[in-house]
Amino acid sequence: MKHYNTGFVLGKFCPLHRGHMLLIQRALDACEKVYIVVDNIMDEVIPVKRRMQWVKKQHPATVVLTQSHPLPQDPSETPMFWDIWRKELLHLLPQSIDAVFASERYGARLAKELSSDFVMVDYDRQIVPVSATLVRQDIIGQWQYLAPVVQDDFRKAVCIYGPESTGKSTLTKQLAEHYHVPYVEEYAKQVIDSKHGDIVFEDMEMIVKGHFKAVEEALLQNAPLVFVDTDAIISKLWSNELFGKESPVVEEYIARQQFDYYLLLDVDLPWVNDIHRYRPKERESFFHKCEEQLIKRGKAYSVIRGENEQRLINAIKYVDGLFHIGQVFHTK
C-alpha cells in the first residue's frame, strides 16, 4: 500500500528532463494518484499544450492539468502571491492533496498552503545534475538529460545537398565531427565505385533504396542530429540528367524521406574531377534545379557559401539555429 492517497507536482517542464522525471516518479511511487500542474507561464518559449503533451506521454499514469491563465512567478511580484496560487490550485485540483513533491524550497510553502506534507526530491541535483535552464542553453550538450519524448521532438535530420563538387561529403563529415553525431555517406558513391563509373538507369532504384535504409539506421541512434550526404531528390535530378527519365520508385522515396532542414551548397568551389562526377560545366544550372525542387516541395533550407573553414562556420551557424529553443517549436 502506498504512503499517500494523492500527490501533487507543479512545474514549467520547459523542457521536460530527467530531473522532472525523477520527481514525478517519486510521487508515483508514494501516491495512489498524482496530479501534475503544468504552469501556464506568460512568456512561454514552449507552448503549454506541448509541455502538457510531453508529461502525459512520458507519465501516462498521472493527471495533467494547467491553469487557464498565467499567474505571478515570484512572491516579490505581489504580496498576494501565495493567496493567488492557493486559490487557483484549490479551484483546479479535483480533490485535496496529501503530499507536495518538489525539488525547490518553494515546495515547503506550497505544501503548507495546500495543508499537505512536503517531500523534497534531489534538491542538490546529486542524482540528476541538470536544470531546465541548462538544457535551454545547450540542448545538444545536455541531450542525455532530456526526457525521451522531448528528444523525439528536438531530434533533427539535416541533408547536405546540391550539385557535384561543392564539398558535400567533406562538409557532412566536418559537421558530424563538430557536433559528435552520426552521419550518412552518399550511397550512390558505393554503387558508382562498384560499376567503375558506368551506372545504368536501373541503378537509380538501388541507390534511393540503399540510401534510405542507411538514413533509417542512422536515425535509430539516440543522437540529437544526423547529417546526411544528399537525398532522393538528387537521385531524381541525376536520373533525368543522365537518362532522361526517372523511376516512380524515386518519387516514392522522396515522399518517404523526412529531413528537417537542407543545407544547399553553392558552386563557389573549384571543380575537382573524380569517378563520381559527370557535368563540370553544368554545376550552376544544376544548382538552380536543386533549389527549385526545394522551393517546389516547401523544404526549409539555407544556401551555404565560402571556402575552406568559412564554409563550415557558415553551416554551423544555421545548424545551431535549429536548436534555438524558440526555433524548434516555430518549425513544428
pLDDT of residue 278: 56
Q: Give 6-56 pLDDT, tens digit per residue.
A: 999 999 999 999 999 999 999 999 999 999 999 998 766 899 999 999 999
What's this model's pTM, rounded to 2 decimal places?
A: 0.86
- Taking 70 as the pLDDT cut, the residues of the chain under it are 43-44, 272-281, 325-332
pLDDT at 332: 43
**d(Cα 156, Cα 214) in Å, to the nearest integer?**
16
What pLDDT is stored for residue 330 in this prediction?
A: 43
pLDDT at 272: 67
pLDDT in the model for residue 283: 84
**pLDDT on residue 194:** 82
312 φ, ψ (degrees, to nearest 5): -65, -45
* 142 vs 151: CA distance, rounded Å: 11
Q: Which three cell numbers stand for residue 290?
A: 536543386
pLDDT at 193: 81
* Residue type at 131 in one-letter notation: S
Asked if 304 and 287 touch (Cβ cutoff 8 Å), the reply is: no
The string of DSSP letters for 1-53 reads --SEEEEEEEE--TT-BHHHHHHHHHHHHHEEEEEEEE---TT-SS-HHHHHH
Answer for the pair 26, 102: CB distance below 8 angstroms, yes or no: no
pLDDT of res. 271: 75
